[in-house]
Chains A and B, each alone.
Chain A
Amino acid sequence: MILLQVQSTTQPILLFGTMGMLALAIGLIVFIIFHQRRVIRYQLQLQEMEEEQQKILLNASIRWQEEERQRIAADLHDDAGPLLATARLYLNENLVHQDLNTQLQSIYNAKQIIDDTIQLIRNISHSLMPPTLKNFGLESAVNDLFQKISGSGVVNASSRFHDYRQRLRPEQELLIFRVIQELVNNILKHSSSSFIHVTQNYNEDKFFIRLHHDGRGITQADFERLNKSALGLGLKNIQSRAKVLQAKIEFERDPSETYFKVTLEVPIEDYEMMSN
């Protein structure tokens, strides 16, 4: 009798226990599978967003290149073309007029026009690659740029390089200079600020460029929003250049709300070695 009772209690425990354990095990596996699927979905979304951002940056870069080409084409076509045509006219005149004085006068005029054309082509070339940057480095190029801006009398522009012992690689200098140039252009165009100040530092394998101004500026949230929209071609160029430099760029407003600050943080591991 007792044995029968024991049997009758053992079998339900065995069955329910086994079913419970199996249910727990299968539940655990199902949970893991669903969790992994969610993670994969999230990763795919993240990848899509990243690809979308890359596409926007690429489009911006292509658009910027096209605009730059159009500008150079317009400069050459509208300025250099007519100047050279006029010089050609003066020189043609020498073939018609045999009078020495007239010939000398037209040669002099042609020379003047050719000088102007040389200056114009030099300006176009300088806008493509500033000679100060190529020959003397980033500090001189930024100082040069800021002197020109200050010379206009509209904005007080100044720069101070605290730890620029050695020049960076030429491509890095050009990219940093272009970022500064674009930022300064934006400030001049949109911010109505009265001063622009750039400082440079080097700390823990990082090359810092900080730009302050007291006009209307943008914060990091604005920068990211504009980067995702079709607007803000200049900002997208800044972003793509920062990406090439593997740099971080941060737009912020100072706590006292008197000025805006942009920080460019470029990782340069071999800077100490370069300066030795």
Chain B
Amino acid sequence: MWLITAVVGTFLLYFLITSPHNAFDSIPSGVTSLTLLIYSIYYLFERMKDPTSLYLFSSPVFWVVVAIVIYSAGTFFPFIYARNNMEEAEFKNIYDLIHDTLYIVKNVIFSFAIMIKPKPEKKYAGSAISKKH
């Protein structure tokens, strides 16, 4: 995971320095979306395997990750195509529709995550028994 972070970080830095500033950065945006998706999915599966996280929905981090997954997955294709098609009005309309909708959805879920009250994490009932014996 640290290796992915390092590679992606270097790649983004390289693009920041070398790419022209007047065009949409499709490739870095796509790479960022993919990286965020990989991290989010990794986090979700790790939490699923963790026996101490029984009430996942009451965790604010879970909802933040859900918002990131939806936003990154939904905006991946618009970002990829944006560099070559941004000048076209029809594409711009669709791009705005998808991006703005997902942006609002993401922010709504973020607000929900901020407002949620985290419950104390509960252990599996079985672990208590096995611990005793």
Interface residue ranges, A against B (CB under 8 Å): 7, 10-11, 13-15, 17-18, 21-22, 24-26, 28-29, 32-33, 35-36, 39-40, 43, 46-47, 50, 243, 246, 248
Taken together as a complex, chains A and B put the C-alpha atoms of A46 and B75 apart, in Å, by 42
Contact B44 A14 (CB under 8 A): no
Q: Does B85 contact A (CB under 8 A)?
A: yes
- Is there contact, CB below 8 Å, between B73 and A25? yes
Question: A residues within 8 A CB of B75?
Answer: 18
Select from chain A the residue with minimum beta-carbon distance to B45: A32
Q: How many B residues touch A, CB cutoff 8 Å? A: 32
Closest 8 pairs (CB-CB, A-B): A25-B73, A17-B77, A21-B73, A47-B125, A46-B125, A25-B69, A18-B77, A22-B74
Q: Which of A17, A24, A246 has the most CB of B within 10 A?
A: A17
Query: Cβ of A28 and Cβ of B69 under 8 Å apart?
Result: yes
**Assembled-state Cα–Cα distance A73/B128 (Å):** 40
- Give CA–CA (A98, B85) in the complex, Å: 132
Most buried by A among B44, B54, B94, B125: B125
Name the contact of B126 in the complex, choosing from A13, A18, A46, A248 (C-beta under 8 A): A46
B77–A246 touching, CB < 8 Å:
no
Instruction: Pull 25 A–B residue pairs with CB atoms less than 8 Å apart, ordered by A.
Output: A7-B90, A10-B91, A11-B91, A13-B77, A14-B81, A14-B98, A17-B76, A17-B77, A18-B98, A21-B74, A21-B77, A22-B70, A24-B73, A25-B69, A25-B70, A25-B72, A28-B69, A29-B66, A29-B69, A36-B56, A36-B57, A43-B125, A43-B126, A46-B124, A243-B132
